[in-house]
Amino acid sequence: MGGLVVPRRLRNICVRGLLAAAFLAGGAAPLAAGGEIGPSQRFRGVVNGRLRNAVVFVACPGPGGDGRVGPVVAGQTLGVIRAFSGGGGYTGPMSQVYAWFVPADPEAPPEQLLFTRYGVAQAIPDTVSVPCAGTGQVEFSSCPYLAPCVAGWILTYVTVQFVNVAV
């Protein structure tokens, strides 16, 4: 009798915030500014502040799965940090890094973000659609999606878990 009634939309926003804080708390990568991206440099991709096992929140009303896609929730980011040891990607002769969600259909080109500086996170556009549930990858490459590229570059991936917050 007389309990607090919280509207469903407000409750969902609070749950999303708590989930985001919990997932970002462990293994987050600092995105301190690190200068311009240049040739012959090693780099790592960052998704929502994480170098690996990142979570991407998706807004898909109803249950996820069954191949459905939906928009990413606002406020999520991609970034690139400089790596000074092995692993990650390599710019080769290029001076930029592109990032995109690896599409299920290679014929449908994904939206790309272009990075020219380390440590500068960019918002994932709200026009990007990803699976409502499951896992995927974000590709970080010094060459644009499916473009012929010069020798010497190495791309890298960050594995992501898609979490539907609109269930």
Containing 16, the helix (H) or strand (E) segment is: helix 8-25
Q: C-alpha distances in angstroms, 83 versus 9, 49, 80, 91, 162?
A: 41, 15, 9, 11, 26
pLDDT of residue 125: 95
Q: How far apart are CA 152 and CA 129, in angstroms?
A: 31
Query: Would you kindly state where each structural domain of the chain is located, as residue ranges?
Result: 8-164
pLDDT in tens, the chain (167 residues): 444 444 444 434 433 443 333 333 434 555 556 799 999 999 999 999 999 999 999 999 876 557 889 999 999 999 999 998 878 999 999 999 999 999 877 778 899 999 999 999 999 998 999 999 999 999 999 999 988 888 889 999 999 999 999 87
Q: How far apart are CA 14 and CA 95, in angstroms?
A: 40
Stated pTM of the model: 0.79
- Give every CB contact of residue 123 below 8 A, 6+ residues apart in sequence: 74, 75, 76, 77
